[in-house]
Protein backbone atom coordinates (compact mmCIF):
# COMPACT_ATOMS: atom_id res chain seq x y z
CA UNK A 1 0.00 0.00 0.00
CA UNK A 2 1.28 3.46 -0.92
CA UNK A 3 1.98 5.59 2.18
CA UNK A 4 0.78 9.19 2.24
CA UNK A 5 1.68 11.70 4.90
CA UNK A 6 -1.55 12.25 6.91
CA UNK A 7 -0.96 16.00 7.11
CA UNK A 8 -0.49 16.20 3.34
CA UNK A 9 -3.55 14.02 2.81
CA UNK A 10 -5.65 16.29 5.03
CA UNK A 11 -4.45 19.36 3.15
CA UNK A 12 -5.23 17.74 -0.20
CA UNK A 13 -8.75 16.84 0.91
CA UNK A 14 -9.35 20.36 2.26
CA UNK A 15 -8.17 21.83 -1.05
CA UNK A 16 -10.45 19.53 -3.06
CA UNK A 17 -13.36 20.47 -0.78
CA UNK A 18 -12.81 24.21 -1.25
CA UNK A 19 -12.48 23.74 -5.02
CA UNK A 20 -15.79 21.87 -4.96
CA UNK A 21 -17.42 24.73 -3.02
CA UNK A 22 -16.18 27.15 -5.68
CA UNK A 23 -17.59 25.11 -8.57
CA UNK A 24 -20.90 24.73 -6.72
CA UNK A 25 -21.04 28.52 -6.40
CA UNK A 26 -20.21 28.77 -10.10
CA UNK A 27 -23.09 26.43 -10.94
CA UNK A 28 -25.47 28.63 -8.96
CA UNK A 29 -24.18 31.77 -10.67
CA UNK A 30 -24.70 30.10 -14.05
CA UNK A 31 -28.29 29.17 -13.23
CA UNK A 32 -29.04 32.66 -11.90
CA UNK A 33 -27.51 34.34 -15.00
CA UNK A 34 -24.87 36.08 -12.92
CA UNK A 35 -27.22 37.54 -10.32
CA UNK A 36 -25.21 37.20 -7.10
CA UNK A 37 -28.19 37.64 -4.77
CA UNK A 38 -30.23 35.00 -6.59
CA UNK A 39 -27.16 32.74 -6.76
CA UNK A 40 -26.62 33.08 -3.01
CA UNK A 41 -30.22 32.11 -2.31
CA UNK A 42 -29.97 29.12 -4.64
CA UNK A 43 -26.70 28.04 -3.00
CA UNK A 44 -28.29 28.26 0.46
CA UNK A 45 -31.23 26.09 -0.62
CA UNK A 46 -29.02 23.46 -2.30
CA UNK A 47 -26.15 23.40 0.21
CA UNK A 48 -27.49 24.60 3.57
CA UNK A 49 -24.64 22.99 5.53
CA UNK A 50 -21.76 23.98 3.21
CA UNK A 51 -18.67 25.44 4.86
CA UNK A 52 -18.63 28.16 2.20
CA UNK A 53 -22.21 29.28 2.85
CA UNK A 54 -21.20 32.33 4.88
CA UNK A 55 -18.73 33.46 2.21
CA UNK A 56 -21.32 32.96 -0.55
CA UNK A 57 -23.91 35.03 1.31
CA UNK A 58 -21.37 37.82 1.84
CA UNK A 59 -20.40 37.74 -1.83
CA UNK A 60 -23.99 38.71 -2.67
CA UNK A 61 -23.44 42.13 -1.09
CA UNK A 62 -22.62 44.57 -3.91
CA UNK A 63 -20.04 46.48 -1.85
CA UNK A 64 -18.01 43.31 -1.40
CA UNK A 65 -17.40 42.62 -5.10
CA UNK A 66 -13.97 43.07 -6.64
CA UNK A 67 -15.48 45.15 -9.47
CA UNK A 68 -16.49 47.97 -7.12
CA UNK A 69 -13.66 50.51 -7.03
CA UNK A 70 -15.44 52.67 -4.44
CA UNK A 71 -14.11 50.49 -1.68
CA UNK A 72 -10.65 50.14 -3.19
CA UNK A 73 -11.55 46.84 -4.91
CA UNK A 74 -11.80 44.86 -1.66
CA UNK A 75 -11.27 41.13 -1.86
CA UNK A 76 -14.39 39.09 -2.40
CA UNK A 77 -15.19 36.56 0.35
CA UNK A 78 -15.12 33.88 -2.37
CA UNK A 79 -11.51 34.67 -3.35
CA UNK A 80 -10.26 32.04 -0.90
CA UNK A 81 -12.30 29.39 -2.71
CA UNK A 82 -11.34 30.67 -6.18
CA UNK A 83 -7.68 30.47 -5.14
CA UNK A 84 -8.31 26.92 -3.91
CA UNK A 85 -9.69 26.01 -7.33
CA UNK A 86 -6.52 27.32 -8.99
CA UNK A 87 -4.39 25.32 -6.57
CA UNK A 88 -6.55 22.28 -7.28
CA UNK A 89 -6.05 22.86 -11.01
CA UNK A 90 -2.28 23.37 -10.95
CA UNK A 91 -1.14 19.81 -10.07
CA UNK A 92 -3.19 18.55 -13.05
CA UNK A 93 -1.04 20.63 -15.40
CA UNK A 94 2.60 20.07 -16.27
CA UNK A 95 3.48 23.21 -14.31
CA UNK A 96 2.35 21.57 -11.10
CA UNK A 97 4.71 18.64 -11.68
CA UNK A 98 7.86 20.70 -12.16
CA UNK A 99 9.69 23.38 -10.19
CA UNK A 100 12.41 25.90 -10.98
CA UNK A 101 10.43 28.29 -13.20
CA UNK A 102 11.31 31.99 -13.10
CA UNK A 103 8.01 33.62 -12.17
CA UNK A 104 7.20 37.01 -13.65
CA UNK A 105 4.19 39.34 -13.38
CA UNK A 106 2.14 39.99 -16.51
CA UNK A 107 2.96 43.09 -18.58
CA UNK A 108 6.60 43.25 -17.49
CA UNK A 109 9.86 43.07 -19.39
CA UNK A 110 12.73 40.74 -18.55
CA UNK A 111 16.26 40.58 -19.97
CA UNK A 112 16.97 37.51 -22.05
CA UNK A 113 20.44 36.18 -22.76
CA UNK A 114 21.28 35.81 -26.45
CA UNK A 115 25.02 35.20 -26.04
CA UNK A 116 26.97 34.74 -22.84
CA UNK A 117 30.11 36.51 -21.67
CA UNK A 118 33.36 34.54 -21.51
CA UNK A 119 36.43 34.37 -19.28
CA UNK A 120 40.10 33.58 -19.94
CA UNK A 121 43.35 32.86 -18.14
CA UNK A 122 45.37 36.02 -17.44
CA UNK A 123 49.08 36.05 -16.84
CA UNK A 124 50.83 38.30 -14.31
CA UNK A 125 50.96 41.90 -15.54
CA UNK A 126 49.01 41.15 -18.69
CA UNK A 127 45.75 42.83 -19.78
CA UNK A 128 42.41 41.11 -19.22
CA UNK A 129 40.62 40.24 -22.50
CA UNK A 130 37.39 42.15 -23.00
CA UNK A 131 34.20 40.09 -23.03
CA UNK A 132 30.59 41.01 -23.34
CA UNK A 133 27.30 39.21 -23.37
CA UNK A 134 24.37 39.90 -25.66
CA UNK A 135 20.87 40.48 -24.38
CA UNK A 136 17.46 41.43 -25.58
CA UNK A 137 14.20 41.96 -23.71
CA UNK A 138 11.12 39.78 -23.62
CA UNK A 139 7.73 41.17 -22.62
CA UNK A 140 5.32 38.96 -20.75
CA UNK A 141 2.24 40.06 -22.68
CA UNK A 142 -1.11 39.02 -21.24
CA UNK A 143 -2.39 35.78 -22.77
CA UNK A 144 -5.37 33.66 -21.89
CA UNK A 145 -6.75 30.18 -22.42
CA UNK A 146 -10.53 29.80 -22.59
CA UNK A 147 -12.64 26.68 -22.35
CA UNK A 148 -16.35 26.61 -23.20
CA UNK A 149 -18.36 23.92 -21.44
CA UNK A 150 -22.04 23.15 -22.00
CA UNK A 151 -23.96 21.44 -19.19
CA UNK A 152 -27.58 20.39 -18.78
CA UNK A 153 -29.54 22.51 -16.32
CA UNK A 154 -30.44 19.31 -14.47
CA UNK A 155 -26.75 18.67 -13.78
CA UNK A 156 -26.20 22.23 -12.56
CA UNK A 157 -29.22 22.10 -10.28
CA UNK A 158 -28.43 18.69 -8.82
CA UNK A 159 -27.22 18.68 -5.23
CA UNK A 160 -25.88 15.16 -5.72
CA UNK A 161 -22.17 15.21 -4.70
CA UNK A 162 -21.31 13.09 -7.75
CA UNK A 163 -22.78 15.72 -10.08
CA UNK A 164 -20.85 18.47 -8.30
CA UNK A 165 -17.58 16.54 -8.55
CA UNK A 166 -18.23 15.81 -12.25
CA UNK A 167 -18.64 19.52 -12.96
CA UNK A 168 -15.47 20.33 -10.99
CA UNK A 169 -13.45 17.68 -12.85
CA UNK A 170 -14.74 18.70 -16.28
CA UNK A 171 -13.97 22.35 -15.65
CA UNK A 172 -10.46 21.64 -14.35
CA UNK A 173 -9.64 19.14 -17.11
CA UNK A 174 -10.78 21.43 -19.91
CA UNK A 175 -8.29 24.11 -18.87
CA UNK A 176 -5.40 21.91 -17.74
CA UNK A 177 -5.36 19.59 -20.77
CA UNK A 178 -5.06 22.37 -23.32
CA UNK A 179 -2.60 24.31 -21.19
CA UNK A 180 -0.18 21.37 -21.10
CA UNK A 181 -0.47 20.65 -24.82
CA UNK A 182 0.12 24.30 -25.71
CA UNK A 183 3.25 24.37 -23.56
CA UNK A 184 4.80 21.29 -25.20
CA UNK A 185 3.58 21.14 -28.83
CA UNK A 186 6.61 21.85 -31.08
CA UNK A 187 4.37 23.02 -33.92
CA UNK A 188 2.83 25.81 -31.81
CA UNK A 189 4.43 29.07 -32.97
CA UNK A 190 3.74 32.43 -31.35
CA UNK A 191 0.68 34.32 -32.54
CA UNK A 192 1.11 37.98 -31.72
CA UNK A 193 -1.34 39.25 -29.11
CA UNK A 194 -2.93 35.78 -28.90
CA UNK A 195 -0.60 33.04 -27.65
CA UNK A 196 3.06 32.37 -26.87
CA UNK A 197 5.13 29.82 -28.74
CA UNK A 198 5.49 26.44 -27.10
CA UNK A 199 8.65 25.79 -25.15
CA UNK A 200 9.80 23.30 -27.83
CA UNK A 201 9.01 25.44 -30.88
CA UNK A 202 12.18 26.00 -32.91
CA UNK A 203 14.25 23.77 -30.64
CA UNK A 204 16.27 20.69 -31.58
CA UNK A 205 14.32 17.58 -32.57
CA UNK A 206 16.07 14.21 -32.40
CA UNK A 207 14.68 11.10 -34.09
CA UNK A 208 14.59 8.00 -31.91
CA UNK A 209 17.14 5.41 -32.99
CA UNK A 210 15.26 2.39 -31.69
CA UNK A 211 13.40 0.70 -28.86
CA UNK A 212 16.25 -1.16 -27.18
CA UNK A 213 18.10 -0.10 -24.03
CA UNK A 214 21.35 0.74 -25.93
CA UNK A 215 19.38 2.77 -28.50
CA UNK A 216 17.66 4.80 -25.79
CA UNK A 217 20.98 5.37 -24.01
CA UNK A 218 22.34 6.98 -27.19
CA UNK A 219 19.18 9.01 -27.69
CA UNK A 220 19.35 10.20 -24.08
CA UNK A 221 22.92 11.40 -24.56
CA UNK A 222 21.95 13.23 -27.77
CA UNK A 223 18.96 14.81 -26.04
CA UNK A 224 21.13 16.09 -23.17
CA UNK A 225 23.77 17.36 -25.62
CA UNK A 226 21.11 19.49 -27.35
CA UNK A 227 20.47 21.49 -24.15
CA UNK A 228 22.61 24.63 -24.01
CA UNK A 229 21.96 25.60 -20.40
CA UNK A 230 23.51 24.65 -17.07
CA UNK A 231 20.90 21.97 -16.22
CA UNK A 232 19.90 23.79 -13.05
CA UNK A 233 16.38 22.35 -13.13
CA UNK A 234 16.04 19.73 -15.88
CA UNK A 235 12.94 17.57 -16.42
CA UNK A 236 12.00 14.81 -18.85
CA UNK A 237 8.33 14.99 -19.90
CA UNK A 238 6.52 11.97 -21.33
CA UNK A 239 3.25 10.06 -21.30
CA UNK A 240 2.55 7.28 -18.76
CA UNK A 241 2.74 4.79 -21.64
CA UNK A 242 6.25 5.93 -22.53
CA UNK A 243 7.30 5.81 -18.87
CA UNK A 244 6.11 2.20 -18.62
CA UNK A 245 8.00 1.39 -21.82
CA UNK A 246 11.22 2.82 -20.41
CA UNK A 247 10.74 0.94 -17.15
CA UNK A 248 10.30 -2.31 -19.08
CA UNK A 249 13.75 -1.91 -20.67
CA UNK A 250 15.04 -3.22 -17.35
CA UNK A 251 18.40 -1.45 -17.57
CA UNK A 252 20.46 0.65 -15.20
CA UNK A 253 19.56 3.94 -16.90
CA UNK A 254 15.78 3.53 -16.57
CA UNK A 255 15.54 1.40 -13.43
CA UNK A 256 14.06 4.29 -11.41
CA UNK A 257 11.26 5.10 -13.90
CA UNK A 258 7.65 4.28 -12.96
CA UNK A 259 4.26 5.09 -14.43
CA UNK A 260 4.10 8.03 -11.99
CA UNK A 261 7.51 9.50 -12.85
CA UNK A 262 10.88 8.69 -11.34
CA UNK A 263 14.34 9.50 -12.72
CA UNK A 264 16.45 8.86 -15.81
CA UNK A 265 20.13 9.49 -15.25
CA UNK A 266 19.26 11.61 -12.22
CA UNK A 267 16.85 13.81 -14.22
CA UNK A 268 13.28 13.86 -12.81
CA UNK A 269 10.51 12.48 -15.02
CA UNK A 270 7.22 14.43 -15.23
CA UNK A 271 4.38 12.27 -16.53
CA UNK A 272 1.35 13.71 -18.33
CA UNK A 273 -1.25 12.21 -20.60
CA UNK A 274 -1.11 15.38 -22.70
CA UNK A 275 2.50 15.06 -23.90
CA UNK A 276 2.40 15.60 -27.69
CA UNK A 277 2.56 12.75 -30.16
CA UNK A 278 5.04 12.79 -33.04
CA UNK A 279 3.73 15.18 -35.68
CA UNK A 280 5.17 13.07 -38.49
CA UNK A 281 4.01 9.76 -37.00
CA UNK A 282 0.94 10.24 -34.77
CA UNK A 283 1.19 6.67 -33.51
CA UNK A 284 4.53 7.44 -31.89
CA UNK A 285 5.19 9.54 -28.82
CA UNK A 286 7.76 12.12 -27.77
CA UNK A 287 10.04 12.81 -24.83
CA UNK A 288 10.77 16.44 -24.02
CA UNK A 289 13.79 17.59 -22.03
CA UNK A 290 13.51 21.10 -20.59
CA UNK A 291 15.51 23.18 -18.15
CA UNK A 292 12.76 25.05 -16.30
CA UNK A 293 15.27 27.50 -14.78
CA UNK A 294 15.41 29.12 -18.22
CA UNK A 295 11.64 29.44 -18.60
CA UNK A 296 9.80 32.62 -17.62
CA UNK A 297 6.27 31.98 -16.36
CA UNK A 298 3.36 34.31 -15.55
CA UNK A 299 0.26 32.84 -13.94
CA UNK A 300 -2.81 34.99 -13.45
CA UNK A 301 -6.33 34.41 -12.14
CA UNK A 302 -9.05 32.18 -13.52
CA UNK A 303 -12.39 33.75 -14.45
CA UNK A 304 -15.80 32.28 -15.21
CA UNK A 305 -18.85 33.51 -17.07
CA UNK A 306 -22.10 31.78 -17.95
CA UNK A 307 -25.14 32.16 -20.17
CA UNK A 308 -28.44 30.36 -20.66
CA UNK A 309 -29.49 32.52 -23.62
CA UNK A 310 -26.50 32.06 -25.94
CA UNK A 311 -26.51 30.18 -29.24
CA UNK A 312 -23.39 28.07 -29.67
CA UNK A 313 -21.77 26.09 -32.46
CA UNK A 314 -21.30 22.73 -30.74
CA UNK A 315 -17.87 21.84 -32.11
CA UNK A 316 -14.26 22.08 -30.99
CA UNK A 317 -13.38 23.76 -34.32
CA UNK A 318 -15.97 26.53 -34.72
CA UNK A 319 -16.28 28.50 -37.96
CA UNK A 320 -14.58 31.88 -37.84
CA UNK A 321 -16.42 33.79 -39.10
CA UNK A 322 -19.72 31.93 -39.09
CA UNK A 323 -21.21 31.02 -42.47
CA UNK A 324 -24.69 30.22 -43.73
CA UNK A 325 -23.89 26.53 -43.19
CA UNK A 326 -22.91 27.00 -39.54
CA UNK A 327 -25.25 25.13 -37.20
CA UNK A 328 -26.01 26.79 -33.86
CA UNK A 329 -27.67 25.33 -30.79
CA UNK A 330 -29.86 27.39 -28.47
CA UNK A 331 -28.99 27.01 -24.80
CA UNK A 332 -32.43 28.22 -23.72
CA UNK A 333 -34.37 25.90 -26.03
CA UNK A 334 -32.40 22.84 -24.93
CA UNK A 335 -32.35 23.61 -21.19
CA UNK A 336 -28.59 23.97 -21.20
CA UNK A 337 -26.09 26.45 -19.76
CA UNK A 338 -22.81 27.48 -21.34
CA UNK A 339 -19.95 28.09 -18.91
CA UNK A 340 -16.72 29.73 -20.06
CA UNK A 341 -13.53 29.34 -18.02
CA UNK A 342 -10.65 31.71 -18.79
CA UNK A 343 -7.14 31.16 -17.41
CA UNK A 344 -4.54 33.93 -17.72
CA UNK A 345 -1.07 32.47 -18.29
CA UNK A 346 2.02 33.06 -20.39
CA UNK A 347 5.48 31.55 -20.73
CA UNK A 348 8.61 32.58 -22.60
CA UNK A 349 12.01 31.02 -23.06
CA UNK A 350 14.64 33.03 -21.25
CA UNK A 351 17.31 31.45 -23.40
CA UNK A 352 17.24 29.42 -26.61
CA UNK A 353 18.44 25.85 -26.22
CA UNK A 354 16.62 25.29 -22.94
CA UNK A 355 14.53 22.47 -24.44
CA UNK A 356 14.88 19.58 -26.88
CA UNK A 357 12.51 16.86 -28.03
CA UNK A 358 12.96 13.18 -28.89
CA UNK A 359 10.52 12.08 -31.61
CA UNK A 360 9.42 8.72 -32.93
CA UNK A 361 9.27 7.21 -29.44
CA UNK A 362 7.52 3.83 -29.46
CA UNK A 363 8.44 1.79 -26.40
Do 186 and 239 have their domain in common? yes
Domain count, the chain: 2
CA nearest 96: which of 15, 217, 197, 10?
A: 15
- 192-224: pLDDT as tens digits: 888 999 999 999 999 999 999 999 999 999 999
122 belongs to a structural domain: no
Do 331 and 246 have their domain in common? yes
Do 17 and 138 have their domain in common? no
Do 6 and 52 have their domain in common? yes
Do 47 and 181 have their domain in common? no
What mean pLDDT is reported for the chain? 79
Alpha-carbon distance values, 279 to 46, 126, 363 (Å)? 47, 55, 17
Please say whether the beta carbons of 206 and 224 come within 8 A.
no
35 belongs to a structural domain: yes
Do 81 and 174 have their domain in common? no
Q: DSSP states of 49-92 as a string? A: T-TTHHHHHHHTSGGGSTT-GGGTSPPPTTHHHHHHHHHHHGGG
Q: 3-state DSSP helix/strand/coil percent for the chain, to nearest 5?
A: 35, 25, 40
170 belongs to a structural domain: yes
- 162-173: pLDDT as tens digits: 666 666 667 677
CA nearest 18: which of 79, 81, 83?
A: 81
Residue range 306-322: mean pLDDT, rounded: 81
C-alpha 78/C-alpha 187 separation (Å) is 39
> Quick one: pLDDT at residue 66?
40
Do 183 and 306 have their domain in common? yes
Examine the pLDDT at 175 and tell me if it is beyond 90: no
Please say whether the beta carbons of 65 and 76 come within 8 A.
yes
Do 156 and 79 have their domain in common? no
Which residues face 297 on adjacent strands?
103, 347
Please say whether the beta carbons of 167 and 155 come within 8 A.
yes
- 105-160: pLDDT as tens digits: 888 887 766 565 667 788 888 888 777 666 677 888 889 888 777 877 776 666 56
Do 191 and 330 have their domain in common? yes
Residue range 62-66: mean pLDDT, rounded: 42
Across 176-180, 277-281, 286-290, least confident range: 277-281
Do 108 and 189 have their domain in common? yes
Examine the pLDDT at 243 and tell me if it is beyond 70: yes
Do 82 and 180 have their domain in common? no
Do 218 and 175 have their domain in common? yes
Query: Which residue range is the domain that position 278 belongs to?
Result: 100-115+133-319+326-363
Instruction: Count H helices and E strands in the chain, helices first.
Output: 8, 15
Residue range 24-52: mean pLDDT, rounded: 69
Residue range 273-286: mean pLDDT, rounded: 84
301 belongs to a structural domain: yes
Amino acid sequence: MRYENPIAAAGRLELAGKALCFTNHLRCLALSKGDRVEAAGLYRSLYPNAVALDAVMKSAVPAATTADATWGSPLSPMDTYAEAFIKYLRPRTIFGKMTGFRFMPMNTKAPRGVAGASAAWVGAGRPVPLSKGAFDAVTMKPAKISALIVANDELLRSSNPVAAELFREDTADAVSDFQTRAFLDPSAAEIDDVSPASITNGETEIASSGTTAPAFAEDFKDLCAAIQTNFLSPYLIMTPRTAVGLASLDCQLTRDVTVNGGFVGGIPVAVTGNAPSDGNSPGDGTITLVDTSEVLLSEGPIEFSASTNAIIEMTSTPDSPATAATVFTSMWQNHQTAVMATRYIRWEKRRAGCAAILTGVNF
